[in-house]
Structure 1
Amino acid sequence: MSELPDLMLLLVLLAVIGGWLKLSRAREQATQEARQLCRQHGLQLLDESVGLRSLKLRRARGQWFWERCYTFEVSIDGDDREPGKLWMSGRALTGLSLPTIQSHLPDLMAEHVPRTSQSGNVVPLRPRLNRDSSLH
């Protein structure tokens, strides 16, 4: 009689190990996708890894599937850490979120503003542009 519970325990253990191996292979593929996408967009993938953030059961076009969300960090200029995400279903990339260079435009523009002889931490202001001079 004790053979049945032992067999069930063994089957559950094998299912857990199989699921873990499948998620491990999927994580390796997500890391390769993140590496390729960072190269394509001129970003540096930090830590050369991704982490599983969520696993959701989704339905699209009448079919159910598992969608995995992976997070990772990238660098735009080597001095920053920005978050990135990618979503995968099976072996297909279904979504991507990367930081944009626009988030660093104020820093880049500050480098090109001509500096005048100032003291302290005073930042020169540029004149405002009139949006519509006919209103005034």
Structure 2
Amino acid sequence: MLSSEQLLLILVFAVISAWWWRHLGIRQLALAHARKACQKANVQLLDQSVYLRKIRLARSPVSLVTVERSYEFEFSTRGDRRFLGWVVLTGRRLQRLELQPYSDDNWLQ
């Protein structure tokens, strides 16, 4: 028979595992938004990844508390310079997507 401490430990592990699994799914969603933005802007997404920069509690559109995650990624116009981009998700909803201003010098060549 499991003691109450063992049951609590199993429950804590299960909650952390579920949260981590959901976080990975939301990270993949942020990556998909970054890829789409880079394709639309005709720039190259570097490293094929996004990086979690900030996580905080925020209000959702229906006035409930949810988790807001801010991700950062890098992109390039020709591969020689890196620029920053940001994806902000509230829950699974895209709140903001920005690309750092960049100049496309390809027309000079």
The answer to whether TM tops 0.5 is yes
Q: Unaligned stretches of 5+ in structure 1?
A: 113-136
Higher strand share: 2
Distance 2:64 2:14 in 1: 27
CA deviations 1:59-92 (Å, max 9, x no partner) are: 2563322110001100022211111111011221
Structure 1, 66-75 or 88-97: larger mean CA deviation: 88-97
Unaligned stretches of 5+ residues in structure 2: none
CA distance in 2, matches of 1:2, 1:40: 55
State the match for 1:38 in structure 2. Answer: 38
Greater length-normalized contact order (CA 8 Å, ≥ 6 residues apart)? 2
Whole-angstrom distance in 1 between the partners of 2:27 and 2:2: 38
2:71 match: 70
**Length, aligned pairs only:** 106
User: Displaced runs of 4+ in structure 1, greater than 4 A?
Assistant: none
Give the 3 Å change call, closer, same or farther, for CA 76–29 of structure 1 in structure 2: same
Residue 12 of structure 1: how far off its partner (Å): 0.2
> Identity of counterpart residues, as a percentage?
34
User: Which has the larger Rg?
Assistant: 1
Residue 43 (structure 1) shift: 1.4
Cα root mean square deviation, aligned: 2.1
- CA deviations on 1:6-56 (whole Å, 9 max, x unpaired) are 000000011111111110111111111110111011111000010111111
Matches within 5 A, 1:111-122: none
Whether 1:20 and 2:20 are equivalent positions in the alignment is yes
SS at match of 1:53: strand
**Displacement of 1:100 after TM fit?**
2.1
CA deviations over 1:86-112 (Å, ceiling 9, x no partner) = 1011221101120223xx37xx5xx69
